[in-house]
Amino acid sequence: MATDVDEWTVERHMRAGSPETIALYERFSEILHGFGPIRIAVSKSMITFKGTRRGFAGAKPRGDGLVGYLDLMQPLPLDERIRSAAPFSRSLFVHNWRIEREEQFDDVFTGWLRDGYAVGCGAHLLR
**19 assigned to some structural domain:** yes
**1 assigned to some structural domain:** no
In the chain, alpha helices (H)? 10-14, 19-33, 107-120
Average pLDDT, the chain: 94
At 78 the pLDDT is 84
Q: 91 is in which domain, residue-wise? A: 10-126
**41 assigned to some structural domain:** yes
Exposed, middle or buried: residue 124 (CB in 10 Å: 0-12, 13-18, 19+)?
buried
Nearest to 99, CA basis, from 48, 35, 15, 25: 25
**33 assigned to some structural domain:** yes
**64 assigned to some structural domain:** yes
Count how many domains the chain has. Answer: 1
Q: How confident is the model at residue 4 (pLDDT cuts 50, 70, 90)?
A: low
Global pTM reads 0.91
State what percent of residues in the chain have pLDDT above 90: 87
